[in-house]
């Protein structure tokens, strides 16, 4: 079996409302590039890649010259073929490798008649639990609905999502407003959802001293962990010395070199593995094995996903013995999906691991057409800019906070 063709299609799927984060905003939509790797015996494997509000079609077209004729089972060779560690100094293709690895695993599962998780060691669980991903949100520019800015809006939106999807863990995405205001919101969430687990993530925009202040202030709450309060292993280590809450990261431990550094001089307690950032599902399984050896915690990170990427997270979550936290997903903020059957369903805060061969998801061609047309019409968006604050540039550590009293609507094309 050989790779015969690689196709890439960028799609835009609307979100319920624009999602605000420390570095900017998802402008009411996700742009994802869907990869189809076709073999000479007619199998089609699926991959997916995100990016900062941009298409990645061109880079996948360029990979055809490397991979046509390649055996999709030779995954380790593919790693060195397109993401050689020293060549990567010039062309970092870690995320591209990830999307191609997803597609090749999908092909192998179909060829061998087994789900991807059975290739990865076999499932330990049939369902992967997820957390509510609680964002500050601008109102939907079309309907005016869905704003999350005040404490009451945050609690009511979370309550509605908990009712609909069954979540018992809630992750608050901060770094948007002054940390004192976000601390108020977090405390109100803890009071509103007693018995539920909480986690907070300001995307590494605080000073170390601010991280310590916030961390100490939440010590009595039911925290899973405090995620990336500050940028850099040294700031995390200084914070960890002063705060009795586990620290987590998806930012400063995203490869094996950094994981080794963290083992030798621990700065982070919980490693959030991301099938894209680490360069594939298999790299995440390997990283989780290192974490198991050194008794570090593991959770599954979300860098934004449609159904193909979500399937990679489910197969990963199914096989990790040391997955001791609910996974993150942006998925419940989407209004649709490109896979057959539409959006995967949550049951009791969890999603079933697909049973079909390979990743277990297939493209809905009508939806692909609809959402690729939407991509052509709306184009890219600057993920690292805030549509409500033109010209704003966040710094690290940041002190250029948004104003929680500012309720002006934002203009975003849709
Ligand atoms: Mg994070």
Instruction: Name the token pair of 167.
Output: 């979540």
CA 65 to ligand 1 centroid distance, Å: 35
Mean per-residue pLDDT over the chain, rounded:
97
Residues with CB under 5 A from ligand 1 (ion): 201, 227, 250
pLDDT score for 413: 84
Q: Are strands 197-201 and 29-39 parallel, antiparallel or unpaired?
A: unpaired
Res. 223: pLDDT tops 90? yes
Q: Tell me the mean pLDDT in the region 90-96.
A: 94
pLDDT per residue as tens digits for the range 373-391: 999 999 999 999 999 999 9
Q: Mean pLDDT lowest for which of 91-95, 201-205, 407-411? A: 407-411
pLDDT score for 51: 77
CA 4 to ligand 1 centroid distance, Å: 37
C-alpha–C-alpha distance, residues 175 and 117, integer Å: 35
CA 201 to ligand 1 centroid distance, Å: 6
Res. 129: pLDDT tops 90? yes
Helix (H) or strand (E) segment spanning residue 201: strand 197-201
Strand partners, 130: 327
pLDDT score for 326: 98
Using DSSP's 3-state secondary structure scheme, residue 386 falls into coil
CA 413 to ligand 1 centroid distance, Å: 27
pLDDT per residue as tens digits for the range 165-181: 999 999 999 999 999 99
pLDDT score for 333: 98
pLDDT per residue as tens digits for the range 56-82: 999 999 999 999 999 999 999 999 999
CA distances from 150 to 112, 189, 302, 359, 405 (A): 52, 12, 25, 39, 8
CA 74 to ligand 1 centroid distance, Å: 32
Could you give the residue range(s) of every CATH 3.30.390.10 domain in the chain?
A: 3-116+366-377
pLDDT score for 52: 84
Could you give the residue range(s) of every CATH 3.20.20.120 domain in the chain?
A: 119-364
CA 251 to ligand 1 centroid distance, Å: 7
pLDDT per residue as tens digits for the range 352-379: 999 999 999 999 999 999 999 999 999 9
CA 354 to ligand 1 centroid distance, Å: 26
Q: Tell me the mean pLDDT in the region 15-25.
A: 97
Asked if the 119-364 domain carries CATH number 3.20.20.120, the reply is yes
CA 382 to ligand 1 centroid distance, Å: 19
What is the dotted CATH code of the domain comprising 3-116+366-377? 3.30.390.10
CA distances from 273 to 186, 253, 283 (A): 24, 9, 9
pLDDT score for 88: 87
CA 202 to ligand 1 centroid distance, Å: 7
* Residue 414 near residue 141 (C-beta atoms within 8 A): yes
Res. 399: pLDDT tops 80? yes
């Amino acid at each position: 079996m050989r790779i015969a063709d690689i196709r890439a299609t960028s799609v835009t799927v609307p979100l319920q409302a624009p999602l605000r984060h420390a570095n900017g905003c998802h402008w009411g939509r996700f742009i994802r590039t869907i990869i189809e790797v076709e073999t000479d015996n007619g199998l089609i494997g699926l991959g997916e890649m995100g990016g900062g509000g941009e298409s990645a079609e061109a880079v996948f077209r360029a990979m055809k010259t490397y991979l046509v004729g390649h055996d999709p089972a030779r995954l380790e060779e593919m790693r060195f073929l397109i993401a050689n560690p020293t060549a990567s100094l010039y062309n970092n293709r870690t995320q591209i490798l990830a999307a191609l690895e997803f597609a090749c695993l999908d092909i192998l599962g179909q060829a061998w008649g087994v789900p991807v998780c059975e290739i990865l060691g076999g499932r330990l669980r049939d369902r992967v639990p997820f957390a509510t991903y609680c964002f500050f949100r601008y109102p939907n520019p079309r309907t005016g609905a869905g704003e999350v800015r005040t404490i009451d809006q945050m609690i009511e939106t979370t309550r509605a999502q908990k009712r609909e999807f069954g979540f018992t863990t809630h992750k608050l995405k901060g770094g948007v407003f002054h940390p004192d205001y976000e601390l108020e919101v977090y405390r109100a969430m803890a009071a509103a959802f007693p018995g539920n687990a909480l986690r907070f993530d300001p995307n590494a925009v605080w000073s170390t001293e601010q991280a310590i202040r916030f961390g100490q202030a939440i010590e009595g709450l039911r925290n899973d962990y405090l995620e990336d309060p500050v940028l850099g292993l040294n700031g995390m280590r200084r914070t960890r010395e002063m705060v009795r809450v586990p620290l987590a990261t998806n930012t400063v431990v995203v490869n094996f070199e950094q994981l080794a550094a963290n083992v030798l001089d621990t700065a982070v307690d919980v490693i959030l593995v991301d099938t894209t950032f680490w360069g594939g599902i298999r790299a995440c399984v390997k990283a989780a094995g290192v974490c198991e050896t050194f008794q570090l915690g593991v959770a599954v990170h979300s860098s934004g996903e449609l159904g193909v990427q979500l399937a990679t997270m489910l197969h990963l979550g199914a096989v990790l013995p040391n997955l001791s936290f609910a996974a993150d997903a942006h998925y419940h903020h989407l209004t649709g999906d490109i896979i057959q059957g539409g959006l995967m369903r949550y049951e009791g805060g969890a999603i079933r691991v697909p049973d079909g061969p390979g990743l277990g998801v297939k493209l809905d061609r009508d939806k692909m057409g609809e959402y690729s047309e939407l991509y052509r019409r709306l184009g890219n968006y600057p993920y690292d800019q805030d549509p409500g604050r033109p010209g704003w540039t966040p710094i690290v550590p940041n002190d250029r906070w948004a104003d929680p009293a500012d309720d002006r609507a934002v203009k975003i094309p849709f």
